[in-house]
Each structure stands twice: as structure tokens, then as C-alpha cells.
Amino acid sequence: MASLQDIGMSAAINILSALSFLVAFALLRLQPINDRVYFPKWYLKGIRGSPTKSGGLVKNVVNLDLKTYIKFLNWMPAALNMPEPELTEHAGLDSTAFMRIYLLGLKIFIPITLLAFVVLVPVNWTGNTLERIKDLTFSNIDKLSISNVPPGSNRFWAHLLMSYVFSYWTCYVLYYEYKTIASLRLRYLASENRRPDQFTVLVKNVPPDPDESVSEHVEHFFCVNHPDHYLMHHVVYNANNLAKLVAKKKSLQNWLVYYQNKHERHPTKKPTTKTGLWGLWGSRVDAVGYYTAEISKLNQEENAERERVASDPTATVPAAFVSFKTRWGAAVCAQTQQSSNPTIWLTEWAPQPRDVFWDNLAIPYVELSVRRLLMAICLFLLTFFFMIPIAFVQSLANIEGIMKVLPFLKPLIEKKVVKSVIQGFLPGIVLKIFLILLPTILMTMSRIEGFTSLSSLERRSAEKYHLFILVNVFLGSIVTGTAFQQLEKFINEPSTEFTKTIGVSIPMKATFFMTYVMVDGWAGVAAEILRLVPLVMFHLKNTFLVKTEEDREQAMDPGCLDFATSEPRIQLYFLIGLVYSVITPVLLPFIVVFFAFSYMVFRHQIINVYDQKYESAAAFWPQVHKRVITGLIISQLLLMGLFSTKGVAKSTLLLIAQPIMTFWFHRLCKGRFETAFMKLPLQEAMVKDTLEKATEPNLNLRAYLKDAYVHPVFKGGELERPVAIDEEENSPLVATKRNSYRSSRHDSDASSEVGV
């Protein structure tokens, strides 16, 4: 086991690397040329313009104002300064709620850390067991852990009591956090302006009718069954072909703009291009004329396809977005069962238009059920047997294999250095590639499961990723051997024995997890702020590919909070913290530092960088809550396993109430708050309807909703702008407040950072 010195060394290395990332970030972000990498959010909001429009060339690339370099950490207070309500307005409730996960970590672990250091560390330190056992090597860290308490000692009462206190505190914080988020969500939904999804319900599994088209059938059904509330509907077209044509046209239009710009700059020289692949082959023609002709040809094709889709009854899928005259009507329809056959006319809240996952709207009920079964089996196999294909690939990807397939590399490979590098790194690289691909694999699996919105796809993937991390990272680190071997053990050993095995090995793995927290948590988060990949990609694109201003806009990759991968990783820290809170309290400060540092970094990213693809109004919180509870119960069970080996079997009986109470607490919270994330209460809907009727009696809702749920390709090939934001701009109250913040912030940013 690693000693205190080893841990100190590791800490020093990781802190240094984190610091170097931060310094690099501080330097890079001050360069105007990187402005679009580090502040894309403000560009997207239309507040910052491209720096190329003003000032000289050098000034636009490098920041020469030395003053600004001195205060290179001043982004930190800036990130923390924005109050929460403004953050919600600026980036949406999803981002705010995501920040509150880190805050939750701080709220749970700071008091636990203090209490553990006051009570448990002295109790452990004076246990003096390890010193008495001569043939055992131990470190100072072990002397602070539960291992230092002699078996059967009365000191374990302190641990038992603290375990209850920690569990109680965690539940207490979780409860109030759930409550806060639920009320934040309701307030957010209530304060929102009119949005199409408030009036709209997604109807799936429209039954086929021999006499009517899908559109007529939907109209008749809702006219009959919701006569006072039904307003209109959009059928969903199967527009794959059209989407391809639109994408092709868009690329041609970009080229046209590029050549037109070129021609304008050099009016004497007519730009030419070749007609073949990528402009490299074929006969040389006049570029502007060629592209204009191509586009008009494509326009005709597109119009024909558009007409075909609109008129061909087989081009519609049996699903529709049905809109109602009032929010009340939509709430009613979304929450009730329409037909006596519960597999047809399924209704649910329509996702935001930008959140719709169009491909999955037309899956029949039984097929959906089969898909979910298959994916559940796949997930099981992936979680427990993923090492088998990896080991297979690793066995292929050795020196002999490479030499066989690519014999011309033989002289190179036979060099000793290269050989050892391949032998040492290749297996690791294969595993790493798999781990990088994993989120994509999981997302694909979720897509196959047939969820209809991006947000639900992400939540589902997060669930899968959490299971994978739990089994393969957490359990895998504690119990040696593959997940499959663990599974075998779990089946063939008594369940108590399994818990004991893990419980006993936990204290020994404390230093490993300390190092893990430092590498993955500290240095990893610091790397996140540097945005190395987007930085490199942006400059590559900017140099080689950017032809028009629009291209530059697209080369800018703001990214977003990737819930599907980030959240399960945070959950791992919750789990580690909860497990070690009683066993090895010295680990806790590392967790606290992780949460604090991440909070700061991601708050900065949310304010300045990320652009969320959708807004689900914190719909993910029930999952976050559930996973922290899962972690808590796991920690309680493992503590029971550990205690039962410590000669205090009776206290194990006292501990058994803990998981039961925690599970009950989970049920209580679920009943108390979860519906707030699923359903819109009729009372809220009615209040908004009444208010709207009073303030805008002449609103033409039909016109407002006309194009809301049209497949993006029918909107002339442009991806729609989020409507909510456009709406916000028109609301004087909100806009004033934000605009004033924006301009002041922009001014201060501009003066302090870019020096314009």
C-alpha cells in the first residue's frame, strides 16, 4: 500500500499538472484568435462579434496588453459571480441544475468531512492495532482508517453512530435539494413564455385505418374525444430522402458563397472549378455559374420530393403532434389514456421542437418491447463480458499479428524501442479506444430502444453508463479480476460472503481511489477548461476549411454539458465519498476539492462556452437523486460486510435498518417529488391559460403553432432556432434585465480580457 509520501508525491504531480493546464488556459483565452473557442456562448447569443471586423491583424491574433496577463486567474471569481437566477436565464435550467449536483456534493461532504475528522480520525488513530501486528507493512494513512481499530473493540460504536449520522445528513440534504429543484422547475415552467410544446402532445401508435389517412384519422379522433380543446395537428413525415437533398444543397450554397466572395475580392479573375469529385477531376467550368445551375437543379428535385412526401400517404408515419387550444387541454390529453387498447393512441408531452428525435416516432408497441428486451440483454453482456472481445482484439494486435498483416513494417517493428512501445501500449490503447467509443455505443443502444427525445436518450444512456462505471470501475477496482469473474463469484458465493469480500478489501484500496480522484478528478477537470480538442479543431478548420463567415460560425464548436457521460462520472465520486466516509475519512478532502474545483470550472464553461442542444427543465434530477441513493445503499451494505468481519456481529444487526430506511426514504421522495418532473399539474396550466386569456385575448394560436412541429427539412433546410429564446427577446421585462447584465458583462469582459 502506498505511504503518505507516495500520496503526497502523486498529489504534487497532479496539482502541478492541473495548475499548468490552468495557466495555459489563462494565456490562451486572452488571445483574440482563440476568442471563438473560449467564449462561443456569447457569439451564439449575438453579443460578441467576430474580432476580425475591427483593429489590425496582429492585435486580432495576439493580445499585447500585458496588464491582462497579471490577473490570469480572474475568471474564477467571475465564474462564481453570476447569481443563480441569471445563470438560469443565461443558460437554461438544465445547466443550473447540473451545477447543483456539484453543490450537492459540497453540501453533503463538507460537514461529513469535518465531523469525520473530529470524531473518527482520532478514534482510528488511537486504535493502535496495526503497530502491534509486526509482520504487516502499513502506512500512516492506514493508521487513520478503520483497519487500525482492534476487532471486537467498543470503538466501533463510534463508526456505527457516525454511519447513521452521515446517512441521515445525506438524506436530509438530498430531500431539500430535491424539493428546491422541483420548485425551481415549476417556477421555471411557470415563468416561461409561450412555447409550442406547452400546447402540444405527441401522439404515437396511431392505428391504421383503411378509409382515412393518418392525418384525417388523428383529426377525427381528437375532434370527437377532445371536442372543446382540440386545435390542430402536425403529421410526421418520413423525410430521410428530403433531408439528404437539403444537406447537399446547403453544401453547394456554401461553395457558391465562397466563390462569389472570391470573385468580389478579385473582380478581374473569374473563379473556376472542376465538376468531378471534390473539385479535383473533370472539366474546368465557371464556378459561380456552375453552382448556381446545380443549386437550381437541386431546388427542382427538392420541390418534387417535397410534394411527393406531402401527397403520398405512405410517406407519413403513424404519429402526430396534436396541439390544443389551451395548456389545460394539452395537460389533460398528455396524462390520460385515450383508447381502451393501451397500445394505440399513446400520448405524452411533446418534447421541445429542437429536442425531438425524429427517427423514433413510428415504432410499433410490440417491436418496442422486443427492442428493450434485446438492449437489456446487450447491456448485461456489455457490462460483464466486454473484456472478451477486447482481449480478442488485443491478442490480434500484438507484434506477430501486425507483422503478418503488414509485412512491410517488419524492419521498423523489429527495432527494440518500437517493439517495446507496441507491446506496452497497444493493449492499453485498444482498451482506451473502447472506452472512448463506449458512450457512443450506449447512445446507439438507447436509440434502438426507441426514445423520442434527445433529452430522454441522454438520460437513458447515463443510466447505462452509470451501471458500467459502477461494475467495472468501482467494483472492478476493489475486487481484482474481470466483471465476469465477479459475477461468477456473486452467483456461487453466499451473498453475505460477497459483501464481506468487498467490505474487507475496501480499506486497502483507499490510496488507489485517492490517486484516482486526483488524476481523473483534479487534472481531468483542469484539462476540460483548456478545451484542447476544440481549440485544435477550430484552428485546423479555420486554416483549411473555412470559406465563408457561416462556415466560421460552424467551425466554432461550443460543445455542451454531456449529461450522458458527465453525470455518471460525478456519481462515482459520490459513491467513493460515501463508501469511505466511515472507513477511511482521509479520503474525503480529496472529494471535497474535486467538487469545489469542478463547480468553478463548469460554471465558467456554462457561462462562456457551452450551448445546450435542448432544455428539459432539470428533468434529469430524479435520476441524479436515485443514483446518489444507490451509492448510499451500496456504502451501507459494504459497511455491513466490513463490520461482520470485525468481530462485532451484533452491530451488523443494528446496521440492517439503514438500507431499509434509505430505500423507504427513496420511495417517499419519489412519491413526493417525482411527478413534478413527469406531469404538468392542471392548476399550473389553468393559471397560465387564464393569465394569457386576460393579457392577450386576440392571440392567434393557430398561426403561432403553424410551423412549430414541422420536420426541420421542411423549413427550407435550416435547423430551426430555439423558439424559446426568440420569445424571450420580445419580453421587455426579462430582456432588459438580461441585456443590462449582458452589456455590462460584455464591457467588463472586453476591457479586462480582450483589451479592446
Contact residues: a copy of itself, CB under 8 A: 186, 221, 224-226, 228, 331-332, 335-340, 342-343, 345, 365-366, 369, 373, 377, 491-497, 660, 664, 667-668, 671-676, 679-684, 686
Between 74 and 369, CB nearer to a copy of itself: 369
Of 289 and 342, the one with the shorter C-beta distance to a copy of itself is: 342
Task: Tell the smallest beta-carbon distance from residue 697 to a copy of itself (Å).
Answer: 17
Give the shortest CB-673-to-a copy of itself separation in angstroms: 7
Q: Which cell numbers in the block locate residue 57?
A: 491583424
Residue 137 Cβ vs a copy of itself, minimum distance, rounded to whole Å: 34
Q: Which is nearer to a copy of itself, 66 or 224 (CB)?
A: 224
Q: How far is the CB of 442 from a copy of itself (least distance, A)?
A: 21
Query: Which of residues 550 and 692 has its CB atom nearest to a copy of itself in the complex?
Result: 692
Nearer to a copy of itself, 392 or 664 (CB): 664
Kindly tell me which of 495 and 743 has the beta carbon lying closer to a copy of itself.
495
Residue with grid cell 482520532, as numbered in its chain: 122
Single-letter code of the amino acid located at 740:
S
Q: Residue with C-alpha cell 413527469?
A: 678
**Closer residue to a copy of itself (CB): 183 or 440:** 183
Residue 489: Cβ-neighbour burial (10 angstroms; 0-12, 13-18, 19+):
middle
Residue 367 or 747 with smaller CB distance to a copy of itself: 367
The answer to whether the CB of 235 falls within 8 A of the CB of 218 is: yes
Q: How far is the CB of 222 from a copy of itself (least distance, A)?
A: 10
| Angle of CA points 345, 457, 88, to nearest 5° | 105
Instruction: With beta carbons less than 8 A apart as the criterion, state whether 356 and 453 touch.
Output: yes
Residue 56, helix vs strand vs coil: coil
CB closer to a copy of itself out of 398 and 496: 496
Per-residue buried b or exposed e for 354-384, using 16+ beta carbons within 10 Å of the residue's own CB: bbbbbebbbbeeeebeebeeebeeebeebbb
Q: How far is the CB of 188 from a copy of itself (least distance, A)?
A: 12
Cβ distance to a copy of itself smaller for residue 375 or 606: 375
Of the pair 496, 748, the CB lying nearest a copy of itself is at 496
Q: What is the DSSP string of 636-699?
A: HHHHHHHHHTTT-HHHHHHHTHHHHHHHHHHHHHHHHHGGGGT---HHHHHHHHHHHHHH-TT-
Q: Is 349 helix (H, G, I), strand (E, B) or coil?
A: strand
Instruction: Please answer whether residues 655 and 160 qualify as being in contact, where contact means their C-beta atoms are separated by less than 8 angstroms.
Output: yes
Across the strands, what pairs with 160? none
Tell me the closest approach of the beta carbon of residue 582 to a copy of itself, in angstroms: 23
What's the closest the beta carbon of residue 333 comes to a copy of itself, in angstroms? 8
What is the smallest separation between the CB atom of 370 and a copy of itself, expressed in angstroms? 8
Task: Report the nearest approach of a copy of itself to the CB of residue 358 (Å).
Answer: 24
> Which amino acid would we find at residue 483?
A
Selection from 549, 571, 687, 679 nearest residue 629 by Cα = 571
Rounded to whole angstroms, how far apart are CA atoms 343 and 341? 6
Cβ-proximal residues to 372 (8 Å cutoff; 6+ apart), any chain = 449, 450
User: What distance in Å separates the CA atoms of residue 533 and residue 580, rounded to the nearest whole number?
Assistant: 35
Number of other CB atoms surrounding residue 537 within 10 Å:
15
**Closer CB to a copy of itself, residue 446 or residue 605?**
446
CB of 637 to a copy of itself, least distance (A): 13
What is the DSSP code (8-state) at residue 244? H
Distance between CA atoms of 218 and 220, rounded to whole angstroms? 6
The nearest distance, CB 182 to a copy of itself, in angstroms, is 8
Angle at alpha carbon of residue 647, lines to 645 and 650, rounded to 5°: 100
Q: Which three cell numbers stand for residue 208?
A: 391504421
